[in-house]
């Protein structure tokens, strides 16, 4: 008879296979080979006496028994992990390797600072930070949390809203000398720096009383990079959007000017997406707490109260 920890390994492997829908992705996330993942699935099927998945070279799907097992196995896995941390006293000590994914615009500054805070507080903690603007398969990457600016469209992830970041319009003094005073009516005819998907084609601007108006914008230069768009604004390529934390120093130094100062763009939501499951390692909890602390100190951020 196999020891209980071996059977838990089988269940955890099955869960990762079910979540990723792929033996190879599951193996990569677990740090094992694909043949090992396949053997563990076959062994679990043998122990339970039923087929859990239907797989061919072109497709993969769970059987009814497999779908039923996912729910029960996840509860068992979470319960064992929580019990293990409680008995050993590890919950208060973040350790292991924290794997975080986030956008480059916020990652090169905010997330790097947050992870530095964590490493100072918990020197034994190891961290891996991946920066990308692409939509990712969080479970397949093996990362434990994904810091998202904007919406998350994967219904399989658990999303925790952290708050919203204010956005304003700014431009270089050199550009404003060429365009003259900027009005809402004039804005559609002026060059803007587009930022996909947050500032392209149209922009909705609101005053402090909630009155809003949507206008067309012309973006002869557009990018999906927050850092690139901000550089283009500084270079005088057009009017663009920026969060106060990013542009305040340049506003104070006179490198940028606020455009339409009584109007604001819709704020962007900042949230953390987590893999499914109830158990959260102490390192993930510590990261989210440190992230909230840093965000709350940033100008223009309004925290979510949940």
Question: Is 131 within the bounds of a domain?
Answer: yes
Q: What is the pLDDT of residues 182-211, one digit of tens each?
A: 999 999 999 999 999 999 999 999 999 989
Does residue 2 lie in a domain region? Answer: no
CATH of the domain at 280: 3.40.190.10
Residue 49 inside a domain? The answer is: yes
**Are 115 and 84 part of one and the same domain?**
no
Q: What is the mean pLDDT of each run of 10 residues along the chain (306 residues)?
A: 64 84 83 90 91 79 86 71 61 81 94 96 93 84 89 87 97 97 96 96 94 97 95 98 96 98 96 81 92 95 82
169 and 262, same domain (yes or no): yes
Among the listed residues 131, 100, 127, 130, the one whose alpha carbon sits nearest the alpha carbon of residue 116: 127
Q: Is 223 a domain residue?
A: yes
Q: What is the pLDDT of residue 20?
A: 79
Q: Domain ends where: 88, 114, 135?
A: 88
Tokens linked to 258: 């606020």
What sign does the CA torsion over 272, 278, 284, 289 have? positive
Judge if 289 and 152 occupy the same domain: yes
Regarding whether 284 and 149 lie in a shared domain, the answer is: yes
Last-in-domain residue among 35, 63, 88: 88
Determine, yes or no, domain membership for 211: yes
* Residue 209's CATH number: 3.40.190.290
Cα angle for residues 293, 299, 302 (degrees, 5° grid): 65
Residues 12 and 151 in one domain: no
pLDDT of 90: 52
CB 263 within 8 A of CB 205: yes
The domain containing residue 113 runs over which residues? Answer: 96-156+275-296
Does a structural domain hold residue 281? Answer: yes
pLDDT of residue 184: 95
User: Angle between the 4-20 and 64-88 helix axes, to the nearest 10 degrees?
Assistant: 120
User: What predicted TM-score, i.e. pTM, was given to this entire model?
Assistant: 0.72
Choose one of 34, 65, 88: the last residue of a domain: 88
Alpha helices by DSSP H, listed for the chain, are 4-20, 23-30, 34-48, 64-88, 104-106, 112-121, 138-141, 173-179, 226-234, 244-253, 282-296
Total count of domains within the chain: 3
Model confidence over 92-102: pLDDT tens digits?
A: 688 888 999 99
Is the residue at 301 inside a domain? Answer: no
In a domain, 306, yes or no: no
């Amino acid at each position: 008879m196999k020891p209980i920890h071996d059977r838990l390994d089988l269940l955890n492997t099955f869960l990762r296979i079910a979540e990723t829908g792929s033996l190879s992705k599951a193996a990569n996330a677990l740090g094992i080979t694909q043949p090992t993942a396949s053997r563990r699935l076959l062994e679990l099927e043998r122990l339970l006496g039923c087929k859990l998945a239907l797989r061919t070279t072109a497709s993969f799907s769970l059987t009814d028994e497999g779908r039923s097992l996912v729910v029960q196995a996840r509860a068992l896995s979470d319960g064992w992990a929580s019990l293990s941390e409680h008995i050993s006293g590890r919950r208060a000590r973040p350790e292991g390797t924290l794997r975080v994914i986030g956008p480059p615009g916020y990652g090169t500054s905010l997330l790097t600072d947050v992870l530095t805070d964590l490493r100072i507080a918990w020197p034994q903690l190891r961290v891996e930070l991946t920066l990308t603007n692409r939509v990712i398969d969080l479970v397949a990457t093996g990362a434990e949390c994904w810091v998202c600016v904007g919406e998350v469209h994967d219904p399989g992830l658990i999303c925790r809203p952290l708050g919203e970041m204010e956005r304003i319009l700014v431009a270089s003094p050199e550009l404003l000398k060429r365009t003259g005073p900027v009005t809402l009516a004039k804005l559609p005819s002026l060059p803007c720096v587009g930022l996909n998907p947050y500032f392209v084609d149209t922009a909705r601007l609101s005053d402090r009383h909630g009155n809003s108006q949507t206008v067309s914008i012309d973006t002869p230069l557009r990018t999906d990079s927050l850092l690139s768009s901000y550089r283009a604004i500084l270079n005088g390529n057009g009017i663009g959007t920026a969060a106060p934390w990013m542009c305040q120093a340049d506003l104070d130094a006179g490198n940028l000017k606020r455009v339409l100062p009584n109007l604001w763009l819709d704020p962007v939501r900042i949230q953390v997406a987590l893999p499914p499951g109830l158990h959260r390692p102490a390192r993930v909890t510590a990261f989210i707490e440190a992230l909230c602390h840093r965000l709350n100190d940033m100008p223009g951020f309004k925290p979510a109260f949940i």
